[in-house]
Every structure is written in structure tokens, then in C-alpha cells.
Amino acid sequence: MKKILAVTLLLFVGLSHAQTDQRLYNIIEAVSADRIEKDITTLANFGTRHTLSDTLSNTRGIGAARRWIKKEFENISKDCNNCLEVSFQKNLIKSGVNQRITKDVWVVNVVAIQRGNKYPNRYIIMSGDIDSRVSDPNDFTSNSPGANDNASGMAGTIEAARVLSKYQFESSIIYLGLSGEEQGLFGGQGFANHAKEKGWEIIGVFNNDMIGNIQGVDGIISNTDFRIFSEPVPPTETEEERKMRRFYGGEVDGISRQLARYVHKNVLTYMPEMNPMMIYRLDRFGRGGHHRPFNDMGYAGIRIMEAHENYTQQHQDIRIEDEISYGDVLEHVNFDYAKKLTAVNAINLAALAWAPPAPKEVGIGGIVAPSVKLQWTAVSGAKGYKIYWRDTTSPTWDHSRYVGDVTDFTLDGIVIDNYFFGVSAVGENGFESVVVFPNKIIR
């Protein structure tokens, strides 16, 4: 009996290829809370980074901040044999397009591209925001350190570039500093347009907005909880696709939701001490963030964020009122927590950038049959494919089967009505694409 168990265990270890990859643990280890603290401090010390603030000073305002971020990416690039393509990407926003744009302004993003060696035109994006604000959204002179909102996301993005630039990836990674967030998501909109014009294939966007606060206004303190927001289906779906969903399902299986599940699963595998909370909505109730403009154009995108917000420390003039100290200042940021959420991004950027592309078309059939048939388009660079399924009420892909290098497979003894299904591509190195929900009906 003992012997059989040992053999079974050995088989399990041997066959369950790529359960984990040591490099992802090394990446988690390499992320530095000290460097994140240093960068958040530098960003907060620009006084204000309001989108409409001064651009000429080298010590105060958004101009100084974006030039410093660009310089920082350039320094990182020097350390990796110029592995980053660093640039500004800018869009002129005209006075009066909304109430928060009171003068013509160049909304300037900072871009650092780490080019993939196999799929240079496929991109995974990690973003943070450059800009900050106080109580009055149009006040562009008052001190607005924006330490958590969103120097934390920006510093995390810079730190991820430092860590991941030590590796070579198959797909390209973009480390992105976006501006104009607080004035109406202008930086993200401009960059999403830019990507569309260039014909870039964007696999996904990880928008990091507030990744440093562990003490919530709800009284909960947690340095392990965090949220992954994703919209259910893309707003760009056609009327025909919407109609099809009524008969074939997919209400909670859009591309952004699959990206959220991908991140959720990797975190549970590689950082089991964390508590990732998948939130089934685009963003917080009635509020917005910089993944939305990408979603608007049909790209997969999620928001990664602390779980317990503190509203006395967001968009507030620095002041003390009724013994509460308001303001988004450095002392409220937990740098170790920001490090953890940066690591969450870094391992998922790496996993996706090492994975083959997802199958483009996935067909499914099995009406009135005791089996489910799946069929998909071959992916060059894939070693094989993995079929996933789950109960219709489950948020996560709970069952899976690796089926090898084939382009169709029949799951016997499973009734199609009672589960949802998907397919991912698996690379030689064991890394997997995002799961694709069937987009075609087959016989």
C-alpha cells in the first residue's frame, strides 16, 4: 500500500508538468519595498502632480514628475543593455471638453516597452497614474501628494520594470505611467487610441490604482486582502453576440473576466498567503479608473487595488477636522503591502509574456448528448491545450484536463448544460494563455 502511494505521488509530480516555475518565486523575492518607498516619496515630493499643474519647474508639478519617471525608466534600461524603449505619448485636450479641463493641456503619458523576442507585437500592460488631486478637482496648485492615489501604482509599475527587465520574454510588456486620470481618464483614452492606430494586439491591461493602503474606513486592517475588478462582458459586443448569450451563456465570461481569473489563479498558486477578491464589476460603485478606456475599445483590462479604502485619505485637502487628519500623505502608505501587489502584477506579466497566444476560435457542441465536444484553432508555439470547466455558479475554473497537442476533444460523461467550458494554450515551458470562452457553436 505504501509503495503504491509512493509511486502514485511520483507519477503525480512527474506528470503534473509546470505546477510552478521557480522564476516566478524569484520575481516575487526581487520586488523591493524599500525602492517602492523611495519612489513614492519622490513622487509625493513633487508637491502636486495635478494634470493642469506647472510643467516648467524641475521640482514641482506634473512636468517635473513625468520627466523624473521617464529618467527612471531610462536608468533601468541602461542596466539591461537598453532593453526598454522609453518615450512620452501625448494628447492635446482642449479646454472645456468637460468641467475639469479648464485650459488646453497636453496629457502626457510615460511609456517603457520591453520588447518580446517571439511576439513583439503582442503586449501586456501594467499601468499606474502620474496625476493627483485634492478636494476641488480643478485646484492645480495646492499640495497634493497623492501618495496612495496613485504614486503607489506608479511606483509599483517602475519597480516591476526593474525586476522584469532582468528577464527575456516572448511577448512585449509595457510599463505605463498614465496622466489625466482624475480629470476624466484622458491618458488611458489617448493611449488606447494610440494602440488601436498602431494595430497592437493587447492581451491585457493591469491598471493599478491605489495599492498601498491596508487600513480601511470600514475598520478592517488587512495586508493580504486585495481586489481584482473586471467587467462581465465587453461593451463592444454586437447585438448578435448579446442575443447568442441568451442561448449559449457567457454573461460572466468576457475577456476581462478571464484575465481576472488568470491573475486570481496565479496568485493562489504562487502567493497563497494573499487573499485575492474577484469583484464582479467594472469598478467600484459609480466610480472609475484607467482600465475603462481600454475596455471601451474592446481590450481586456482589470483594476488591481487594495481591498479596504480610506476615503479620508483620497482626493482631500490636507487638513485636520474633528480630530481626523485628512489627506493622501506618505504616512498612510504601507510599502510592504504595495510590494506584495507589485509582485502580483509582476508574476502575471511574466506568466503571460512567457505563454503562447490563446486560441483565437473555440467551438463547442453537445446539445442533447452525454458528452461535450470542443474544437479550437491551433496556436503556433503551443505544446498543447488545456480544457477547463466549472459549475455554472462557480466564479473560478475548478476543473481542468490537459489534452495534449490536438485541436479538438470530447469530454465523455459530461452534460453541456450543467457547466461552463473554456480552452487555454500551454507552452513548452508550461506557461498558459488566458482561458478562452467558446465563441462558436459546432455540431
Does residue 306 bind Zn ion (CB under 5 A)? no
CB of 186 to Zn ion, least distance (A): 14
Q: Which of 37, 39, 36, 195 is nearest to 125 (CA)?
A: 195
Q: How many residues bind Zn ion (CB under 5 A)?
A: 1
DSSP assignment string, 303-370: EEEESS--GGGSS--SEEETTEEES--GGG--HHHHHHHHHHHHHHHHHHHHSPPPPS-EEEE-TTSS
Four-CA torsion 156, 159, 164, 165, nearest 10 degrees: 140
Q: Which is nearer to Zn ion, 83 or 185 (CB)?
A: 185
Q: How far is CA 321 from CA 21, 80, 329, 331, 429, in A?
A: 51, 48, 15, 18, 56
Q: Which residue type does 406 have? A: V
Closest chain position to Zn ion (CB): 149
Q: Which is nearer to Zn ion, 149 or 253 (CB)?
A: 149
Alpha-carbon 148 to chain mean position: 17
CA distance 297 to 231: 13
Stretch touching Zn ion by CB under 5 A, among 38-46, 145-153, 247-255, 286-294: 145-153
Residue ranges in 31-61 assigned as alpha helix (H):
33-44
Binding to Zn ion, residues 4-43 (CB under 5 A): none
Among 37, 39, 131, 149, binds Zn ion (CB under 5 A): 149
Asked whether the beta carbons of 106 and 335 are under 8 A apart, the reply is: no
Site string for Zn ion, 95-134 (x = CB under 5 A): ----------------------------------------
CB of 181 to Zn ion, least distance (A): 7
CA distance 143 to 319: 11
Q: Which of 439, 409, 436 is nearest to 423 (CA)?
A: 436
Stretch touching Zn ion by CB under 5 A, among 147-155, 253-261, 295-303, 418-426: 147-155
Stretch touching Zn ion by CB under 5 A, among 77-85, 143-151, 171-179, 242-250: 143-151
Stretch touching Zn ion by CB under 5 A, among 61-69, 141-149, 151-159, 394-402: 141-149
CB of 24 to Zn ion, least distance (A): 30
Q: Which is nearer to Zn ion, 250 or 293 (CB)?
A: 293
Q: Residue numbers of the site for Zn ion (CB under 5 A)? A: 149
